[in-house]
A and B are shown apart, each in its own frame.
Chain A
Amino acid sequence: MATKRPPFWQREKYTPFLLLLPAILTLLFVVLLPLLFSLYTSFTGYRLIRPESLWQWVGFRNYQRIFADGDFWTAFGRTIIFLTIALNLEFLFGLGIALLINKITWGQRTLRTIMMFPMMFSPILVGYQFKFVFNDNIGILNNALQSLGLSDGAIPWLVDKYLANFSIIFAEVWMSTSVFAILLLAGLFAMPRDPLEAAKVDGCNPWQVFRHITLPFLMPFVFIAMTIRSLDVARAYDIVDVMTGGGPAGRTELLWTLIARTGYDNARMGQANAMAYVSILLSIAFTYYFFTKLLAARKYMGGAE
């Protein structure tokens, strides 16, 4: 063979890295670089309104402070509960919607568009919309309940300990269930027909078919959706900030609202970034969990790997 050895960028071994280079560079620049900066500031007494405080090294003081802060841990715990409940509800509703729409043949395209309707709404808009819906005095929900005679009082949706959390979860689920539905619908469409037919011939009932064929096939899609959503949940910040701002009395305080108030309103950026790091670790834990599940499901399916 007389052909010269190709230059390294054409060698098969390096191709994937070359292909990934733009993605890696973008993320290094937009995510990693800022993160390193905020990691540094989390060890300083950095206050937004005093630029010189960027050089005031305080070691682990910010971390010590937040770890000793009961409010922080309450917000931390509430964020985990919020994520767990919201993601599971979104999954269940998303699966339900996908299964239903999959069964309907007439008008499916319109239904699919309607199903994706909430995805057209900016999170900030979702926040305002539900702030209005849940308003105790002039909100449409209380007015509807009162007109229908289901309630004779003004239900304080955004103030009561449980209702306020219900309200923000409702808004979040309303906004994000579509993502699950569309991805799971994609999974249902991608499903091979043969095993289904075979199962029917073998006399399986619909539940058995669902349990032993459809669901296992859908699992990777479920985990994809879960992972994607767990990446994205911090978008809920916009909603919660507009609806309740974390209040009243911290009843709906999530890590993100706490971080924003500490960092911008109180201008304690160093401390806010320390909190942000804890919240990042939390997101990573969630994502990593679903990711390992995803890999396992893929192995189970015998996908490419």
Chain B
Amino acid sequence: MTKMTFKRLLTATALTSIAATAAIAEEVDYGKFDGYTLRVKLIGGAQYEPLYARIAEWEAMTGATVDVLSRKNHFELDREIKQDIAAGTLDWCVGSNHTSFAPQYGSIYIDLNGVIADATLAEFQSLALENSTVDGRLVQLPRHSDISNLYYIKSLFEDADNQAKFEAEYGYALTPPETWDQVKDQAMFFADAPTFYGTQFVGKDEAITGRFYELLIANGGALFDDDWNPTFNSAAGVEAVNFFKDLYEAQAVPAGSLNYLWDDTGLGFASGTVALNLDWAGWASFFNDPENSKIAGDIGLVRAPKGSAGIRTGWSGSHSFSITETCDNQDAAASFVTFLTSHESQMVEATAGLLPTRAAVWDDAKAQFTADGNDFLVEVFETYAVSMSEDAFTPPLITPWIEVSNEIWPQLQAAILGEKTPQEALDEAADAARIVMEDAGYL
């Protein structure tokens, strides 16, 4: 689907469903499953809990009981599900899933086409559904999407002194960056290690692979060619690695970056010691909460900048729910996941700052934020709505994605630390990735 048609579709569904919104909650019949116990495994964590408070409502409506077997973060859950596959203990019905993880699990989850009502599926953004599809099977129902945009400390950019100095040094005006090259300049300009940093990046695991991947795309490169040959050791790849390396060497990012994950970068930005921060939508409320954040009220937000090919970075993914093949009551499971991704449920999650996957919720949530006078969240939703519809792309939906990622990120670290040249590091990663792809039967 091209971006244009998608955008049109988005507005179209938005228009039709605004009128229908009020009726939706009553219309869906969640069925009756008296005495049935639905066994589920859910992703846990503060952002995700408010939704689970609604489970009692579904239980009351359907007469079923929900037994939450585990509530863990996704990496823990991933390990647990792999163990279940290995031991044949898939004796549960619904599991939290993620677009990046889903292709690994093969056929343990059912195709939701035909199981979830077509009318319900039509309410979802089609890009979100497309990204939830593996080998033509809709193995997961997207719960909320995520993508990163660039947060910055407003006052720094408004400061006349900064503006003058920056223009003198770099020859163009200090405005929120439009390209990653500008981000680099500005980060180096603002950095004053160890008390203040220009920007930061996550430095390990799939996190840095993802950041590298989106910059690779933005620079006009690709991870694989059409036949699944690794191609990320291209000039675009080297350029992407150099972006991280230059920032690291200039001490424009914290010295410990290579050990950072999302919590470190998020908390770092909230501590007011970082000028520019590419981060997920889920952090927006946290950054603007005076209880947690030193920069509340001083946050600007722009769409993720462009790479050298004029493409914006837009690594995206969705959290989702899947139903197992071994489930003993797929109707109950389908009712449950439909309920948890219903318009009302997504409104609950949107209020917590999670990006909805139902087209209508985008507008309704925004309307509610406007009514509440929460201008910041309105801005957040407007910015993210655009990037979600125009910039979003997922990692390749292949079984060995995590494995390929595990070959890439240690090499990225080695290059950033200067143990290898970017080209050497990427060549080695590409060779290793080729073996992984061969083993997995793609080559």
Contacts and interface: CB of A to CB of B under 8 A. Distances in A.
Contact of B86 (A135, A137, A249, A269): A269
B149 interface: no
Contacts of A155: 255
Contact of B205 (A243, A245, A249): A245
A47 B245 CA distance: 35
A158 B256 contact: yes
A249 B193 CA distance: 23
Contact of B402 (A146, A250, A265): A265
B105 A49 contact: yes
A95 to B, nearest CB: 33
Nearest to B405: A265
Interface in B143-165: none
A195 interface: no
Contacts of B417: 159, 248-249
Contacts, number: 99
Interface stretch (B267-275, B346-354, B355-363): B267-275
A136 B414 CA distance: 19
B407 to A, nearest CB: 9
Given A154-B194, A265-B406, A137 B256 contact: yes
Nearest to A153: B194
Interface in A233-255: 243-245, 247-250
Interface string A122-164: 0000000000000111100010001000001111111100000
B256 A154 contact: yes
A142 B204 CA distance: 22
A249 B267 contact: no
A52 to B, nearest CB: 11
A215 interface: no
Identify which of B255, B406, B411 gathers the most chain A CB atoms within 10 Å of its CB: B255
A88 interface: no
A101 interface: no
B381 to A, nearest CB: 30
A51 B84 CA distance: 10
B85 A49 contact: yes
Interface in B246-270: 254-259, 264, 267-268
B79 interface: yes
A217 to B, nearest CB: 45
A159 B194 contact: no
B205 A248 contact: no
Contact of B255 (A136, A138, A244, A264): A136
B421 to A, nearest CB: 13
Nearest to B411: A249
A116 interface: no
A142 B273 CA distance: 15
Contacts of A50: 106
A146 B414 CA distance: 28
Nearest to A158: B259
Contact of B254 (A48, A137, A264): A137
Contacts of B205: 245
B194 A249 contact: no
A267 interface: yes
Contacts of B256: 135-137, 154, 156-159
Interface residues of A, number: 32
Nearest to A161: B417
B142 interface: no
A127 to B, nearest CB: 12
A78 interface: no
B259 A159 contact: yes
Contacts of A293: none
A146 B264 contact: no
A298 interface: no
Contacts of B267: 138
Nearest to B108: A49
A244 B414 CA distance: 15
A78 B160 CA distance: 52
Given A155-B255, A159-B259, A261 B106 contact: no
Nearest to A250: B410
B406 A138 contact: no
Contacts of B264: 135, 137
Given A49-B104, A136-B255, A267-B104, A142 B194 contact: yes
A247 B254 contact: no
Contact of A154 (B193, B399, B410): B193
B194 A137 contact: yes
Contact of A247 (B79, B85, B193, B413): B413
Nearest to B86: A48
Identify which of A142, A152, A247, A249 gathers the most chain B CB atoms within 10 Å of its CB: A249
Contacts of B95: none
B410 A249 contact: yes
A56 B198 CA distance: 52
B130 interface: no
A208 interface: no
B436 to A, nearest CB: 8
A275 to B, nearest CB: 15
A266 interface: yes
B82 A267 contact: yes
Given A49-B106, A267-B403, A137 B82 contact: no
A152 B88 contact: no
Contact of A138 (B82, B193, B271): B271
B73 interface: no
Contacts of A261: 406
Interface in B66-86: 79, 82-83, 85-86
Given A51-B88, A250-B410, A156 B255 contact: yes
Interface in A158-173: 158-159
A10 B439 CA distance: 59
B84 to A, nearest CB: 10
20 contacts: A48-B85, A49-B106, A50-B106, A51-B88, A136-B194, A136-B254, A137-B256, A137-B271, A138-B268, A154-B194, A159-B255, A159-B259, A243-B259, A244-B259, A248-B203, A248-B204, A249-B419, A261-B406, A264-B79, A268-B403
Interface of A: 48-51, 135-138, 142, 146, 152-159, 243-245, 247-250, 261, 264-269
Given A137-B256, A153-B194, 12 more contacts: A48-B85, A49-B82, A49-B86, A50-B106, A136-B194, A137-B273, A156-B256, A245-B204, A245-B259, A247-B410, A249-B411, A266-B403
Ordered nearest first, which 10 A-B pairs have the shortest CB separation?
A: A136-B256, A154-B194, A156-B255, A248-B258, A249-B413, A249-B414, A248-B413, A158-B259, A48-B82, A266-B403
